[in-house]
Structure 1
Amino acid sequence: MRSVDLTARARIRNAAIDLFGREGVNRVSVRAIAAQAGVSSALVLHHFGSKEGLRKACDAYLVETLRGGSAVDLGDTAQLGAMLDTPELRRYLARAFLDGSTEASMFFDEIVEVTERWLGRGVDEGWVRATEDPHTRAAVYITWLLAPLLLHEHVSRALGVTDLAETDAALRFSRSAIDIFTNGVFADERVLSAWDKVGKDRS
């Protein structure tokens, strides 16, 4: 995204990704995008038709980038790490999830399905515990993975780091998360039993 040798269309898209991620789609004008890209507003509309068309192009570019190419399946949740290489894309993806764009919603559903299959293979191979509700577990797992993306500022502050995407900070956060996934937090089942009791009392 930082290359100086880009087509006008790519410069417009990158400017939109940056501004949409920082301020939200509704707060950014076509004129502001054109100014950052160094083109006219008319050229933005020529390439994308409207601001909504530009937003959809940004979403499509984001999903393709995270997949490693439009023809490549996600494979496993490790592909989510691609977003950490580009601050602009990281902000844009966080904003897209919060704004509820169609493409971001479809991508979230897709990675939950991929994660459910991945964890299912782990159950079959013996390195993942079985669960009564594998789909919900996959959704919760993805929520954990997205936490540093959506709450980047707050998690960074809590950990006393400037950028959670920086390698040492990311490894620190990830190590703690993996420890929780592997070893758990609670030493017995009293909290789980209390939670199950709430459900039984409601039925």
Structure 2
Amino acid sequence: MRSDSDLTGRARIRDAALKLFGAEGVNRVSVRAIAARAGVSAALVLHHFGSKEGLRKACDAYVVEMVRGGPGADLDDVSGLAAMLEASSAMRLYLGRAFLDGSPAAAALFDDIVAAAERWLEEGVRTGRVRPSDDPRARAAVYVTWLLAPLTFGEHLTRALPGGGSETDRTLRTSRAGIEIFTRGLFTDDRVLDAWDAVREERRSP
């Protein structure tokens, strides 16, 4: 890790914005607050990024690139999902807010990861590691959403799982619970699924 003194002014501003945007939301943070956090003038922030919106876009681009594993990285190994879980707290908070706020860059990233997860799961079906699905796309979207839940529900998970240790410990605990459900299943028979299908069929009836 580099110290603040090792970073360029532009990078210090970006990192300060990441922390403040993630903790408080873009709309609640001023350019002056970012400048104070970075130890620079508000004029320098505007010089580098043009506006707060320009800075937000720069943060989006930086975080998405880091999650993707760097320029030109391939998401087909779903490595981006692991990177999100292992990212720094500031980056995790920022990305969680970006998904909730509808950031265009975060939305594009989500779509890319769902597509990659669908390909990955279908390859698992072909090799016998994954059970077939009636709706592969929906399964991939739900799977990705579950994996991203700690980014947006971290505060609630902390409250629901008291005494869970560090953030990493809580992530491992919740991930283990999810993997157990995906691997072993949850219900012992098809009653819940049948009831769900009955509701869907009823809605389709004229």
Partners in 1 of 2:82 and 2:116 — Cα distance?
15
Partners in 2 of 1:169 and 1:123 — Cα distance?
30
Q: Deviations over 1:165-190 (max 9, x none)?
A: 32x33222211111100111000000
Q: Deviations over 1:94-141 (max 9, x none)?
A: 110111010011011010001001001101111001112111000000
Contact 1:161–1:169 (8 Å) recurs in 2: no
Give the structure 1 partner of residue 88 of structure 2: 86
Give the structure 1 partner of residue 180 of structure 2: 179
Instruction: State the one-letter code of the partner of 2:115.
Output: E
Q: Which runs of 5+ in 2 are unaligned?
A: none
Query: TM-score, normalized by length of structure 2?
Result: 0.93
Cα deviation, residue 164, structure 1: 5.9
Give the structure 2 partner of residue 52 of structure 1: 53
Partners in 1 of 2:80 and 2:55 — Cα distance?
25
Cα pair distance change 1:174/1:188, threshold 3 Å: same
Instruction: State the one-letter code of the partner of 1:173.
Output: T
Cα pair distance change 1:68/1:3, threshold 3 Å: farther
Q: Deviations over 1:77-104 (max 9, x none)?
A: 3432223330000100011011101001
Contact 1:148–1:164 (8 Å) recurs in 2: no
SS for the counterpart of 2:198 is helix
Query: Which structure 2 residues correspond to residues 27-176 of structure 1 after superposition, within 5 A?
Result: 27-83=28-84, 84-161=86-163, 165-166=167-168, 168-176=169-177
Partners in 2 of 1:145 and 1:187 — Cα distance?
24
Partners in 2 of 1:163 and 1:47 — Cα distance?
40
Cα pair distance change 1:162/1:54, threshold 3 Å: farther
Q: What is the aligned-residue identity percentage? A: 63
Corresponding position: 1:13 with 2:14: yes
Alignment RMSD: 1.5
